């Protein structure tokens, strides 16, 4: 893989509700990652992670791509792209087959995963990922690698993620109209987890909550495998909308206040109690005075709702015990002052804010060392094919080698 990528460029595109982020990278002769181009542009045409206006989405993608290409001094033809949105569904499924010849071969593993995929799903949904969690051989539980083992009965538990056919088509079509072919499509919380979770956290058991602009994407990893995932339909744009409505001010002003003064920390709210700001409403004589602590209280109410929904998910599926290493907050929404402390208090577990970091092989520019770029960087790791967590890619190579080929046929069937 290193030889194949050496001297060539690969790209990743995070098509978010609030921003489009494009990263272009290559690897040197030693397999070290080098980021050569970064492009970003406000996202127009998406709502809660779903394309609602292809023309506006195409224009946003083109501008972000152009910026990255100018920085990298190269043209890109294809990219790895993320997908999220309220249409994403996930669940665990089990398949059982007889082992031919008593020794488990790759063909047996393929058959048992196919058996686990043989489930009824809605007509407007298609399988995006099939991620093996563990195997059982003759009742022996939690076998992570069954290849070469002996037995009679092989059982597999897999995590299946489905998405709307139309939503996937619209994302791919938007990229194609921007002059970019989609090489792979990846669920965004898988990319984010790959960027910010440590091998220790994935092995011991940890959750990740990526609070983006349109959705908050949650996943739990245990024993190096994904065990649970969920898309929560509350994220940054809803926080901004709450401020705009609650304070009676324009949305762009609400976004500025959220970024500059937004805090749900009790200590910070106390200091803002008597702080006021005059807001220009955009017409002559249209001035309004707001109290900054009111903004914090509005944000806190919505943040508590996100935590309530997360707690409800953990209790319903009884998966909190899979998170002894705690929760990692990431995404632009993870930067909200006081959110880490709120999550730690409500969930009663360790919580940290995660962002992409440099290591001995991957030197990141400072511009990418922010939770807001976790998804884009995770997509780049997938695109470059050089991830330290082998399980993520070995599980996905099978899924994307077959599933994405199938997805490409959906596009050409419809367009």
How does pLDDT run across 305-315, given as a tens digit for each residue? 999 999 999 99
The pLDDT of residue 382 is 84
Distance CA 119, CA 117 (A): 6
User: Shortest CA distance to 224 belongs to which of 116, 106, 142?
Assistant: 142
Rounded to whole angstroms, how far apart are CA atoms 262 and 284? 27
pTM across the whole model: 0.87
Query: Are 246 and 302 spatial neighbours (Cβ–Cβ below 8 Å)?
Result: no
User: What is the predicted pLDDT for the residue at 6?
Assistant: 55
Provide the strand spans (E) within 269-384. 276-280, 287-291, 327-330, 351-353, 362-363
CA separation for the pair 389, 202 (Å, rounded): 9
DSSP state of 36: E
Mean confidence (pLDDT) of the chain: 87
Give me the pLDDT at residue 2, please.
39
Please answer whether residues 112 and 96 qualify as being in contact, where contact means their C-beta atoms are separated by less than 8 angstroms. Answer: yes
Which has more confidence, 286 or 315? Answer: 315
The predicted-structure confidence for 369-413, as pLDDT tens digits, reads as follows 999 999 999 999 888 764 333 333 333 433 334 434 544 433 333
Does 271 score more than 80 pLDDT?
yes
User: Could you tell me the two tokens for 90?
Assistant: 């996930």
For residue 42, give the H/E element and its range: strand 33-42
Q: Where are the alpha helices (DSSP H) in 16-132?
A: 54-72, 106-117
Q: Rounded CA gap, 243 and 21, in Å?
A: 25
Token digits for 217? 């994407």
208, 14 Cβ separation under 8 angstroms? no
Q: Is the pLDDT of residue 351 over 70?
A: yes
Specify the pLDDT at position 34.
86
Domains identified in the chain and CATH numbers: 2-85+165-190+355-414 (3.30.420.40), 89-164 (3.30.1490.110), 199-234+303-353 (3.30.420.40), 236-300 (3.30.420.40)
Q: How far apart are the C-alpha atoms of 323 and 341, rounded to whole Å?
A: 17
The predicted structure's pLDDT at residue 172: 94
Indicate if the pLDDT at residue 1 is higher than 60: no
In this prediction, residue 5 carries a pLDDT of 54
Position 314 scores a pLDDT of 97
pLDDT tens per residue, range 64-112: 999 999 999 999 999 999 999 889 999 999 999 999 988 999 999 999 9
**pLDDT for 145:** 86
What digits encode the pLDDT tens for the residues 189-205? 999 999 999 999 999 99
Length reported for the chain? 415
Give residue-wise pLDDT tens across range 212-265.
999 999 999 999 999 999 999 999 999 999 999 999 999 999 999 999 889 999
More confidently predicted of 255 and 29: 255
CA distance 385 to 388: 10
Q: Of 131-140, 322-331, 353-362, which range is least confident? A: 353-362
pLDDT at 402: 41
In angstroms, rounded to a whole number, what is the distance separating the alpha carbons of residues 398 and 297? 47
Q: Can you name the residues that pair with 135 across neighbouring β-strands?
A: 143, 156
């Amino acid at each position: 893989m290193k030889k194949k990528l050496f001297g060539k460029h690969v790209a990743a595109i995070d098509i978010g509700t609030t921003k489009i982020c494009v990263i272009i990278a290559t690897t040197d002769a030693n397999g070290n990652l080098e980021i050569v181009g970064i492009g970003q542009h406000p996202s127009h045409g998406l709502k809660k992670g779903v394309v609602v206006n292809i023309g506006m989405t195409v224009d946003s993608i083109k501008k972000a791509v152009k910026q990255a290409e100018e920085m990298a001094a190269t043209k890109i033809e294809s990219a790895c792209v993320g997908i999220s949105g309220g249409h994403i569904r996930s669940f665990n499924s089990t398949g059982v087959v007889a082992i031919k010849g008593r020794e488990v071969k790759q063909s047996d593993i393929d058959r048992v995963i196919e058996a686990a995929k043989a489930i009824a799903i809605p007509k407007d949904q298609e399988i995006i990922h099939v991620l093996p969690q563990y195997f059982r051989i003759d009742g022996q539980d939690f076998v992570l690698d069954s290849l070469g083992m002996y037995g009679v009965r092989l059982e597999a538990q897999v995590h299946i993620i489905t998405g709307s056919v139309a939503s996937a088509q619209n994302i791919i079509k938007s990229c194609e109209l921007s002059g970019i072919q989609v090489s792979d499509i990846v669920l965004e919380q898988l990319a984010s987890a790959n960027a910010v979770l440590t091998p220790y956290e994935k092995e011991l058991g940890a959750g990740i909550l990526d609070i983006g602009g349109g959705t908050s994407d949650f996943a739990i990893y245990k024993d190096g495998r994904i065990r649970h995932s969920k898309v929560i339909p509350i994220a940054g744009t809803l926080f901004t909308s709450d401020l705009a409505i609650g304070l009676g001010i324009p949305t762009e002003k609400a976004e500025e206040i959220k970024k500059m003064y937004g805090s749900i920390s009790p200590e910070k709210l106390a200091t803002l109690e008597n702080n006021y700001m005059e807001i220009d409403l955009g017409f002559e004589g249209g001035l309004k005075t707001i109290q900054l602590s009111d903004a914090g209280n509005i944000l806190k109410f919505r943040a508590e709702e996100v935590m309530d929904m997360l707690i409800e998910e953990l209790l319903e599926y009884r998966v909190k015990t899979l998170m002894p290493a705690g929760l990692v907050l990431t995404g632009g929404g993870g930067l909200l002052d006081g959110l880490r402390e709120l999550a730690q208090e409500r969930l009663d577990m360790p919580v940290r804010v995660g962002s992409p970091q440099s290591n001995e092989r991957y030197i990141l520019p400072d511009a990418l060392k922010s939770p807001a770029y976790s998804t884009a960087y995770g997509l780049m790791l997938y695109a470059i094919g050089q991830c330290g967590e082998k399980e993520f890619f070995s599980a996905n190579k099978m899924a994307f080698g077959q599933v994405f080929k199938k997805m490409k046929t959906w596009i050409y069937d419809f367009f």
